């Protein structure tokens, strides 16, 4: 009641009749739902596929311990109705990317508010709101940092108008042969978990990489020189999982294979160690002959924040392998486990394996807490930040519904006050980017690839879905015949999947029309054939090179920063295993230029960057630069796929 006193009667009355959609019921979503009903909104629909985890309870105040395992959307609805029984709330425990939530569904609302945690879902909602011509309020938080902005078709930049920083990745040879940072060892350990207990992925191999371009050696000669035992198929095995099964997942054999035999094999690659410190193999028997006094934990405080010795991590490795082996047996033949940072045995395994590898490569080992932070790409969530951002969402919603769109702003919440003592920084909304491949009148992109090496499946999964955010694309070749290359109807073009693009007459200069009927979105794809792509690069988007994207304020995947695991490409509203991390851009100024011209720097605020360069497709950064972060930032957001 107190809140509504400040609203004009017409606006206050309209709140009770308008329908709004809230996408996400997590950290921001809980605060937002509370704010909406207390402001006077009566007709609210909320969607989220996640279930409540114990780790949510410190900030998602609509949930209690008794709710763990239940639907976030449903429990959020029930909790809100307790202090506002007159509200009409509909909850969906579902994915916003489900085809049921089509353009017509979105047209039922006057306003959509995102409280999401990943780029894939944000891209999708952005496109659905553009197709339905419904205003969207986008938001995100990362620790003490936050942002709110308004997106309106034809008037502002859409969520995808500017290139996003690409996911930070590491070359396979670095992960497998020459790790130099703890994060490399943590990535390796997560790969190892999948290779042993989860879904095998050829791109996540953990054995020494004999194809490392730095090596330039003769594997046949080196194999003879290696002192590693081949008794269990250490070098000649078909796959890590097959070999592990043949040993019965024997923890000691696994240990010696991974931390002794493979390391001794790496040592035969002489050239790798001419300018690097060579790794030091570990032997199970020798480790357990150490005096226990040498194996005391370092550091004080909580157990998770202590660093164990080599023997301690060897024992943790042994225990976790036995536990995970038992879980596999219980699940039955052909079962697979899914790595989850909140699953103790899985987290123990990655902590132990990563630290043992760190020791092998002469790095300082990390506590379980630190490993979990890096393995889960976690930036601690701050409840107050979520509350502030949720309040700003409602303020921008009121302006939008009151037709005061010219008063809407992008608002940044910063960690430190700027020179004018402000934490909240408003910026004028940017107009649409005419070259945007989503909201332009005729979206079009140019992709460089090798038509003789790129298969249809890669075009669909890696280019159209992963890069360009489509959900169910239909692709037609503009060859005068209307040849259907990819169909969203299951099984219709499955025979094409493993064929090369050139098999369909696609060559340099070919054009493809990709349609996603769920998103009401059509993209024209111009193809440039090239045989000179860099090693391990399957395609390049011309005019959208990684070095032209904004630099992130915290190393991270795309525009997504915060509380969770980035392994899954699925959003939290479409995958229970997906992580919880919210989107945020950071600036530090209190002027009101357009938000994309802001220079983000904690030391100097009112500097501006050059606007978008149409010729080079260079874009202004809304974030702090990477070089402002510590060299070994434990909250590094990295790609693990």
Q: Is 122 annotated as a binding residue?
A: yes
E strands, 95-135, are 111-114
Q: Are 368 and 553 in contact (CB under 8 A)?
A: no
Beta-bridge mates of residue 142: 145
Is the four-CA dihedral 585, 591, 594, 599 of positive or negative sign? negative
Q: Is 58 annotated as a binding residue?
A: yes
Closest CA to 34 of 390, 396, 397, 392: 390
Q: Is 439 annotated as a binding residue?
A: yes
d(CA 178, CA 59): 40
616: left (phi over 0), alpha (psi -120 to 50) or beta: alpha
Q: Is 119 annotated as a binding residue?
A: yes
61: left (phi over 0), alpha (psi -120 to 50) or beta: alpha
If one counts every other C-beta atom within 10 angstroms of the C-beta of residue 36, the result is 26
Q: Is 118 annotated as a binding residue?
A: yes
- Return all residues near 334 (Cβ < 8 A) that are at least 6 apart: none
Q: Is 72 annotated as a binding residue?
A: yes
Q: Is 436 annotated as a binding residue?
A: yes
Query: 419 — phi, psi (to 5°)?
Result: -55, -20
Query: 566 — phi, psi (to 5°)?
Result: -100, 15
Which pair of structure tokens corresponds to residue 200? 């095998």
Query: 434 — phi, psi (to 5°)?
Result: -60, -20
Q: What is the DSSP string of 522-568?
A: EEEEEEEE-S-PPTT--EEETT--GGGSPPPSSS-BTTB-SSS----
Name the helix (H) or strand (E) containing 582. Answer: none
Is the four-CA dihedral 102, 405, 423, 557 of positive or negative sign? positive
Q: Which parts of 425-582 fold into alpha helices (H)?
A: 456-458
Q: Is 25 annotated as a binding residue?
A: yes
Query: 515 — phi, psi (to 5°)?
Result: -115, 135
Q: Is 121 annotated as a binding residue?
A: yes
If one counts every other C-beta atom within 10 angstroms of the C-beta of residue 281, the result is 19
Q: Is 56 annotated as a binding residue?
A: yes
- Return all residues near 19 (Cβ < 8 A) that are at least 6 apart: 43, 44, 45, 108, 109, 110
Q: What is the DSSP string of 294-309?
A: GGPPBS-SSGGG-B--
- b (16+ CB within 10 A) / e for 331-358: eeeeeebebbbeeebbbbbbbbbbbbbb
Q: Is 129 annotated as a binding residue?
A: no
DSSP reduced 3-state for 396: helix
d(CA 83, CA 80): 6
Q: Is 267 annotated as a binding residue?
A: no
Looking up tokens 């080599």 gives 310
d(CA 574, CA 92): 12
Which pair of structure tokens corresponds to residue 599? 């220079």
Q: Is 283 annotated as a binding residue?
A: no
Query: 583 — phi, psi (to 5°)?
Result: -90, 140
Of the listed 30, 129, 173, 408, which one is catalytic?
173
173 part of the active site: yes
Q: Is 57 annotated as a binding residue?
A: yes
User: Where is the binding site for ATP, in residues?
Assistant: 24-29, 48, 56-59, 72, 95-96, 117-122
Binding residues, by number, are 24-29, 48, 56-59, 72, 95-96, 117-122, 158, 161, 436, 439
- Active-site amino acid positions: 173
Residue positions in the annotated binding site for Zn(2+)? 158, 161, 436, 439
């Amino acid at each position: 009641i107190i809140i509504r006193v400040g609203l004009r009667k017409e606006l206050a009355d309209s709140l009770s009749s308008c329908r709004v959609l809230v996408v996400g019921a997590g950290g921001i979503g809980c605060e937002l739902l509370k704010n909406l009903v207390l402001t006077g909104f009566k007709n609210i629909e909320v969607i989220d596929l996640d279930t409540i985890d114990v780790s949510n309870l410190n900030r998602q105040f609509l949930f209690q311990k008794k709710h763990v395992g239940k639907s976030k959307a449903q429990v959020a609805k029930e909790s809100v109705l307790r202090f506002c029984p007159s509200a009409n709330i509909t909850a969906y425990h579902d994915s916003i990317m489900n085809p049921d939530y089509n353009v017509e569904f979105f047209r039922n609302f006057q306003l959509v508010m995102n409280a999401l945690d990943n780029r894939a879902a944000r891209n999708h909602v952005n496109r659905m709101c553009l197709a339905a011509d419904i205003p969207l309020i986008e938001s995100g938080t990362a620790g003490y940092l936050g942002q709110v902005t308004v997106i309106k078709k034809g008037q502002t930049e859409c969520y995808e108008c500017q290139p996003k920083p690409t996911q930070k990745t590491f070359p396979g040879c670095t992960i497998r042969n020459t790790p130099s940072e703890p994060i490399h060892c943590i990535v390796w350990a997560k790969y190892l978990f999948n290779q042993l207990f989860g879904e095998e992925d050829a791109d996540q191999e953990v054995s020494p990489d004999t194809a490392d371009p730095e090596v330039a050696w003769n594997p046949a000669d080196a194999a003879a020189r290696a002192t590693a035992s081949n008794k269990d198929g250490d070098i000649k095995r078909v796959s890590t999982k097959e070999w592990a099964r043949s040993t019965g997942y024997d923890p000691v054999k696994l240990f010696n294979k991974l931390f002794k035999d493979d390391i001794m094999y790496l040592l035969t690659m002489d050239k790798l160690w001419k300018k690097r410190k060579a790794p030091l193999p570990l032997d199970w028997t020798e480790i357990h002959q150490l005096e226990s006094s040498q194996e005391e934990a370092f550091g004080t405080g909580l157990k998770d924040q202590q660093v164990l010795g080599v023997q301690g991590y060897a024992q943790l490795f042994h225990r976790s392998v036995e536990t995970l082996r038992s879980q596999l047996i219980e699940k039955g033949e052909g079962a697979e486990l899914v790595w989850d940072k909140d699953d103790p045995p899985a987290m123990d395994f990655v902590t132990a394996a990563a630290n043992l590898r760190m020791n092998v490569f002469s790095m300082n080992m990390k506590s379980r807490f630190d490993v979990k932070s890096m393995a889960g790409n976690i930036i601690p969530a701050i409840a107050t930040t979520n509350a502030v951002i949720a309040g700003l969402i409602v303020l921008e919603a009121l302006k939008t519904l009151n037709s005061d769109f010219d008063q809407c702003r992008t608002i940044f919440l910063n960690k430190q006050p700027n020179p004018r003592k402000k934490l909240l920084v408003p910026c004028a909304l940017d107009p649409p980017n005419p070259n945007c491949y989503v909201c332009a009148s005729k979206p079009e992109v140019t992709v460089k690839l090798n038509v003789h090496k790129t298969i249809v499946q890669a075009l669909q999964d890696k280019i159209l879905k992963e890069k360009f955010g489509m959900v169910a694309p239909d692709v037609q070749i503009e060859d005068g015949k209307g040849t259907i290359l990819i169909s969203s109807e299951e099984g219709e073009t499955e025979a094409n999947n493993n064929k090369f693009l050139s098999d369909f007459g696609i060559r340099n200069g070919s054009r493809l029309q990709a349609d996603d009927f769920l998103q009401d979105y059509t993209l024209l794809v111009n193809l440039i054939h090239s045989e000179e792509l860099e090693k391990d690069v399957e395609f390049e988007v011309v005019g959208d090179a990684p070095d032209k994207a904004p630099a992130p304020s915290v190393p991270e995947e795309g525009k997504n920063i915060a509380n969770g695991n980035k392994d899954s490409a699925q959003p939290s509203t479409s995958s229970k295993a997906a992580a919880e991390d919210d989107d945020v851009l950071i600036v530090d100024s209190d002027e009101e230029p357009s938000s994309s011209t802001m220079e983000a720097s904690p030391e100097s605020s009112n500097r501006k960057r050059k606007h978008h360069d149409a010729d080079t497709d260079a874009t202004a950064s809304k974030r702090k630069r990477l070089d402002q972060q510590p060299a070994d930032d434990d909250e590094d957001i990295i790609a693990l796929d």
